[in-house]
Chains A and B, each alone.
Chain A
Amino acid sequence: MEKYDVAIIGGGSAGLAALKQLSNLGKQAILFEAGSKVGSKNISGGILYSKKPKKGKTYNVEDIYENFLTDAPFERKITKYILHATSKDKVFSIDLTEAHNYEANFGCSVLMNKLNQWFLQQVTETAQKHGGGIVPGVHVRDIRWEGERTIVQTDELEEVEVKAIIAADGVNSEVAYMTGARQKFSPSQLYQGVKVVIKLPEEIMNERFSIGQDDGAAHLFAGDVTLNHIGGGFLYTNRDTLSVGAVYHLDSLLDAPVEPYDLVNTLLKNPMISEFIKDEVPVRGEIDKNMAKEEQMRIRFAVTKMIKTWTELRDAYYSKSQKERLVKEGKYGSEDEIGSQLSSIREQMSSKYGIKFETDYVEAEYSAKLVPDGKRCRMEKPYFKNILFVGDAAGRGVFVGPRIEGLNVGIDDAARAANAVARSLDKNNFSDDYLGQYYSQSVEESPYTHDLKSIDKDYLKIFLDAAKDVPKDIISAKYGMVVKMMSSKTLRNFAVGVANILGYEKLLPVIETTETYVKVPTEIAERLGKSIQSSYTPSIPPIAQRVAKLKYNDDNISHIKVLKPTSEFMKKMITLCPTGCYFMEKDGVMIQHEGCVECGTCSEETDWKHPRGEKGINYQYG
């Protein structure tokens, strides 16, 4: 049997950070990733933060990757952070940029497929130098202990023996279930997030969002766009795409099921968002069916090619760097020449093939993910024997009002886990108290854990200051006492103190209600909002078309087994599965696993595993 020092399970941003940190410390580690390549199964909202807390220290992404700020392909540094209350066509906006900047070095929008690929490049060489590296396309099936030996069994490879394991296998951590380290998260501890990536040329975006070349904007949405659910919508600017998504408490969705894609569609149909995402889209003309089959086919192929050429050139034309590159490479004499070539192709498209141009939007990718609500589900002791759990696998994400942080928490955990494992390797001691408890202690000291346990009154003040234009009478009906207490410093400190004594658990059911996320924002928008009109109606693809666009490597056996086909929960899955994999048959609920994006929404009452190595969903953006 082959032997390695450390196995990291899961090649997302946390797993890769653990590998980088271990390699930096000169340790040998191998990383198993189930996807055919690193990043292919990762989804994020996504903003990645770097923090500078007043107390304690966080391991930030640029601590792990020194060249992050200069070289990494993150999208844009978010410089505007705005919360919108919506009601029909009315929108009232609250600028939360101060809250976004609170204790932060920066927060940047990211697409995980691209970014994780970059992390991979940074880590591979050092990992190889120490005899380790990354093993993609391998799904860990079981972990067992034989005396002192820890053995990892996979679906694809021969067994290997390791000394310690870092479990970074995400919110649906199989390592956690198979070892019994923790229960599956329950719906009340989870959010379901659904996102679409939308294409928009770079310079059009800069102008539309009034942002500089490398700056970005984040827009959050509450009010009637939530369709009465607890959570909200978001829109982030990437380099030349937008991420638009809806994130809601899973138990809220279970109470009154609504198709997850409808929640996203509702956002897209909001006039403010419709205007944000609009673009010029070529529409194919009808091909004369009376023509010879070969001629029809030739035209179809020619049209596809022309649209592709036009789209690529247009993307380049609206990107400063790409435009410069094309001129520098000598493909075009000047930037104006690209412009005239573009209009000449456009002219040909309509004259030769009857292609029309309409105002619409261009969807590139649909995705879904569960998000662990760290306030409710973080593992108190994130270890089991010699396995350390990090990030989503340990149920750690900071979601407090408009504060949405997951990636940076996972990276912080990963660095702590790597340090703990390195220390154990040095002493060859992997016992509970030397490894597990040491790591647990380190995680406990993390400022993120502090934020998961108690309210930060300074953050709260910034948030309340931003909302100071909202008339008190709207919120006072429900929060009169709270508002009064928060208005003075002494009372605020007292109130937060009392709240923290009560603890989040008792407080959350009071704060996280439809009142906060739906009713109050809707009323604010109705009374104070500006009306926004959209010039078109976006043609939103049906879910079947969205799923058809995704890339899968089909597995002929299902990775999910329905255990209770007639349960109420499973019946709700027919509505709540983001890709509509469930349907009703005579004997109960059945699954068609081919369209599964492995989000885990149905995990509660199914035998849920990730697909075998290389199989399943293969995200292109993430």
Chain B
Amino acid sequence: MNSINVAVIVKLEPDFSEGNVSYNPDGTLNRAETKNILGPHSEIAVNAAFYAKVKYGANISIGTMGPPTAESMLQHAQLISDADDLYLYSDRIFAGADTLATAEVLKSGVLKMQGKMDIVFSGHRASDGETGQTGPQTAWKLGMTFLGNAIDYEINMETRTVRAKRLVRLQGIYDVVEEIEAPLPVFIAIDPSYVPKFNTVSQRLAYEKYQREATQRAQNFKQYLKTFNAAQIEADPKLIGISGSPTIVYKVERIPKGKATRQAEIIDGTDQEQIRKVVAKMRQSLSTMVIK
């Protein structure tokens, strides 16, 4: 039977939810007090990989660059996706990496994974960096076709091609769906709006079965985990960590608060009165607009 290998690259990010996050008096994030978790966009990417497992029986590998504490995040990712292999690329040399140096580590890491990857998934961006660069750069370094903003994908196991839908902006119009077919291997950066769809009872049963297996695997996740340092993934020392990072952050400025030019008006009264007043205001504003 045709098999397929899928990798996901994920990132350890601060948990920004209320009750978990802490800030310093100067408004910066208090990293010591804030727990780190699997980033929300990474989680979507992991879900996308799980879709391939349920539907095509894919073999899933998950890799991350991070400190040893990132282990528990990989455990969480395994719980979601029933991953077969977990990879942690951890080395002091990696510290201070920008997106390009990170992409170098991830590329080297993906190449060290068990089997040749047919699809590599990444999230759309990270919730702490927000650059959205690491995925595309890793794809470029791996020499894979890059499909960004993917909201859906199907694999043809016979022809070894993937058909994906991308949410793009076309001539100024947002949310245009573009359908693309590409031969494997591909690199897919998954769109934040991605939701996996399973349409038959047998797929749903497979979903439940793998989830159950995932729970068992995640309990002994260390059994599936391999940790590699810089030498073990054979990354070029010149291209990783601070020395491999062309980006220099020389200053961080607080964004000054814009001066409000609009006027706020507080509307009071009962719920119904308030709504009536708001509707009246909207009517008034609309009546002055000219529709071309």
Contacts and interface: CB of A to CB of B under 8 A. Distances in A.
Given A128-B209, A298-B25, A298-B27, A304 B204 contact: no
B188 to A, nearest CB: 25
Interface stretch (B1-9, B13-21, B133-141): B13-21
A4 interface: yes
B212 interface: yes
Contact of A124 (B24, B199, B208): B208
B23 A297 contact: yes
A431 to B, nearest CB: 26
B205 interface: yes
Given A157-B200, A158-B199, A294-B27, A128 B205 contact: yes
A136 B198 CA distance: 12
A308 B201 contact: no
Interface in A213-251: none
Nearest to A585: B272
Interface string A154-192: 001110100000000000000000000000000000000
A305 B22 contact: yes
Interface in B189-239: 198-202, 204-205, 208-209, 212
B207 to A, nearest CB: 9
Interface string A416-439: 000000000000000000000000
B25 A295 contact: yes
Nearest to B209: A128
Contacts of A4: 201
A287 B18 CA distance: 16
Contacts of A455: none
A301 interface: yes
Contact of B208 (A135, A301, A304): A135
Interface in A132-165: 132-136, 138, 156-158, 160
A515 to B, nearest CB: 41
A128 B199 CA distance: 19
Interface string A304-323: 11001000000000000000
B25 A157 contact: no
Contact of B22 (A156, A158, A295, A301): A301
B167 to A, nearest CB: 20
Contacts of A138: 204
Given A30-B205, A132-B205, A305-B21, 9 more contacts: A2-B201, A4-B201, A30-B201, A124-B212, A125-B212, A136-B208, A301-B18, A302-B23, A305-B20
Interface string A289-305: 00000110110111011
Contacts of B200: 2, 157-158
A102 to B, nearest CB: 41
Task: Name the 4 nearest CB pairs between A and B, nearest first.
Answer: A298-B23, A135-B204, A294-B27, A133-B205
A295 B22 CA distance: 12
Interface in A28-62: 30
Contacts of A30: 201, 205
Interface of B: 18-25, 27, 198-202, 204-205, 208-209, 212
Interface in A266-305: 294-295, 297-298, 300-302, 304-305
18 contacts: A30-B205, A124-B208, A125-B212, A128-B212, A133-B208, A133-B209, A135-B201, A135-B204, A135-B208, A136-B208, A156-B199, A158-B201, A298-B24, A301-B18, A304-B19, A305-B20, A305-B21, A305-B22
B19 A294 contact: no
Contacts of B209: 128, 133
Contacts of A301: 18-19, 21-23
Contact of B204 (A128, A157, A302): A157
B16 to A, nearest CB: 10
A30 B21 CA distance: 42
A135 B205 contact: yes
Contacts of A158: 199-201
A469 B199 CA distance: 64
Contacts, number: 57
A128 B210 CA distance: 11
A135 B23 CA distance: 42
B183 to A, nearest CB: 29
A254 B172 CA distance: 57
A6 B205 CA distance: 14
Interface residues of A, number: 26
Give the interface centre of A128, A132, A133, A300 by most chain B CB atoms within 10 Å.
Answer: A133
Nearest to B21: A301
Nearest to A154: B201
A450 to B, nearest CB: 39
Contacts of A135: 201, 204-205, 208
A396 B209 CA distance: 33
A308 B19 contact: yes
A295 B198 CA distance: 46
Contacts of A298: 23-25, 27
Contacts of B204: 135, 138, 157
A96 to B, nearest CB: 42
Interface string A54-77: 000000000000000000000000
Nearest to B27: A294
A561 B25 CA distance: 52
B23 to A, nearest CB: 4
Nearest to B16: A301
A486 B172 CA distance: 85
A305 B19 contact: yes
Contacts of A132: 205
* Most A CB within 10 A of own CB, among B24, B25, B208, B212: B208
B137 to A, nearest CB: 33
B199 A157 contact: yes
A30 B27 CA distance: 53
Interface centre among B25, B27, B200, B201 (most CB of A within 10 A): B201
Contacts of A300: 18
B33 to A, nearest CB: 8
B264 to A, nearest CB: 15
Contact of B23 (A128, A133, A294, A308): A294
A124 B201 CA distance: 15
Contacts of A133: 205, 208-209
A308 B18 CA distance: 10
Contact of A157 (B21, B22, B201, B212): B201
A40 to B, nearest CB: 15
Nearest to B206: A133
A160 B27 contact: no
Contacts of B205: 30, 128, 132-133, 135
A277 to B, nearest CB: 24
A2 B199 CA distance: 11
A124 B199 CA distance: 20
Contacts of B198: 157
> Which of A4, A295, A298, A300 has most B Cβ within 10 Å?
A298
A319 to B, nearest CB: 21
Contacts of B23: 294, 297-298, 301-302
A297 B29 CA distance: 12
A160 B21 contact: no
Nearest to B257: A293
Nearest to B26: A294
Contacts of A128: 205, 208-209, 212
Nearest to A160: B201
Nearest to A134: B208
Contacts of B202: 2
A300 B204 CA distance: 42
Contacts of A297: 23
Nearest to B198: A157
Contacts of A160: 201
Contacts of A302: 22-23
A294 B209 CA distance: 47
A231 to B, nearest CB: 32
A135 B204 CA distance: 6
Interface in A303-358: 304-305, 308
Nearest to A124: B212
Contacts of A134: 208
